[in-house]
Amino acid sequence: MSRRHHRNKRSPLASAAIHATLIAASFIAIFPIAWVALTSLKTGNGQWAHPGDFSHLNFGNYSKVLNDTDFLTWFGNSILVSVLTMALAVFIAATCGYAVSRMRFPGYRATMWLLLIVQMFPIAVLIVPLYNLMSKLHLVNSYAGLVLVYLTTAVPYCAWMLKGYFDTIPIEIDEAGKVDGLNPFGTFWRLVLPLARPGLAVVAFYSFLTAWAEVAFANTFMQGSDKYTLAVGLRTFVSQYKGEWGLMTASSVLIAIPAAVMFLLVQRNLVAGLTSGSAKG
């Protein structure tokens, strides 16, 4: 009974239990990542297969990945495809998001509905017909084809989220623009877009990551090692026939560090947009 004075007062036992739970959960969250980082430092053939042996720690795997494999090519391909996807997706999603946020036009409801329904589409419905379509257009095994495909996954969410963001920008800004003689494009470009920078940063990041981490399409569409993205290329390190876990872990670390840093910088905004955006629908 006495425990119920105030929520901030807690018995030492309860505190210890909370900390113990959180420490255990944090350990589970971190362990696989830490283990990969540790294994990446174990140089030498098959050294990864001795989990308890930490005698040969150095950066040998890293220099091997960078010098003797196509890792840098794949990295470049991934960057190229992701940046193109990001730039195109943000641009067209922003104009569309603004249109559905501010203007009521015939087809408005249909557009909103389209954005929602496309977010639900499973790749399996589309991967075969898209593959046929792309091979008809000779876009299989090309960066352009992959970027176009990624737009279908990135754009609906980005437009949806940016609409939510534009909704929070006061309409008086638009009216002021109108009074100053700007047409809607001008208002959008000069007044609203600069104010929407945080929202734009989040969708830019989201669309970048969509392309960066995609597996199924990249695996189907890209057919030569010179065109592989990271998600496809990494698979070649460990297959039925070989297990180059040293190379695999070293490249995992090289990929994960920039991704994790960027992620941690924007994640608060990402969640807010994700849940508020779809809750309104």
- Taking the C-alpha atoms of residue 13 and residue 11, their distance in angstroms, rounded to an integer, is 5
Residue type, 115: L
Helix (H, G, I), strand (E, B) or coil at 256: helix
Q: Which is nearer to other proteins, 17 or 176 (CB)?
A: 17
Q: Which of 42, 47, 46, 45 is nearest to 59 (CA)?
A: 42
> In the complex, what is the shortest distance from the CB of residue 60 to other proteins, in angstroms, rounded to a whole number?
18
Cα–Cα dist 164/97, whole Å: 8
List 12, 107, 181, 194, residue binding other proteins (CB under 8 A): 107
- Kindly state the smallest distance separating residue 159's Cβ from other proteins, in Å: 6
Near other proteins by CB under 8 A, which window of 64-72, 169-177, 196-204, 266-274? 266-274
Q: Which is nearer to other proteins, 58 or 275 (CB)?
A: 275
Which is nearest to 203 in space by CA: 112, 81, 95, 86? Answer: 86
Contact with other proteins (CB under 8 A): which of 11, 16, 26, 58?
Answer: 26
Q: List b or e across 127-140, with b for residues whose CB sees 16 or more CB atoms inside 10 angstroms.
A: beebbeebeeeebb
Q: Which residue is it, tokens 């993205």?
A: 229
CB of 13: closest distance to other proteins in angstroms?
14
Q: Which is nearer to other proteins, 19 or 197 (CB)?
A: 19
Q: Which is nearer to other proteins, 73 or 95 (CB)?
A: 95
Binding mask 174-193 for other proteins (x = CB under 8 A): ---------xxx--x-----
Q: Looking at the DSSP assignment, which residues form a beta bridge with residue 57?
A: 42
- Binding other proteins (rule: CB under 8 A), the pick from 16, 25, 144, 176 is 25
Which residue intervals of 41-140 are DSSP H helices?
Answer: 60-68, 71-102, 108-120, 123-136
Q: C-beta of 7: minimal distance to other proteins in Å? A: 7
Subset of 114-153 contacting other proteins (CB under 8 A): 114-115, 118, 120-133, 135, 148-149, 151-152
Which one of residues 55, 181, 194, 264 is an interface residue with other proteins (CB under 8 A)?
A: 264
The residue type of 24 is A
Q: Are 85 and 157 in contact (CB under 8 A)?
A: no
* Given 12, 106, 170, 194, the residue binding other proteins (CB under 8 A): 106
Q: CB burial class (10 A; 0-12, 13-18, 19+) of residue 145?
A: buried
List the interface residues with other proteins, window 58-97 (CB under 8 A): 92-93, 95-96
Least Å distance between CB 197 and other proteins?
Answer: 19
**In the structure encoding, which two tokens stand for residue 124, read together?**
């399996």
Of 33 and 176, which has the nearer Cβ to other proteins? 33
Per-residue contact track with other proteins, 219 to 258, x per CB under 8 A?
A: xx---------xx--xx--x----x-x--xx--x--xx--
CB of 42 to other proteins, least distance (A): 11
Number of residues counted as binding other proteins (CB under 8 A)? 96
What is the Cα–Cα distance from 73 to 232, expressed in whole angstroms?
A: 12
Give the pair of three-digit tokens for residue 65. 């990945």
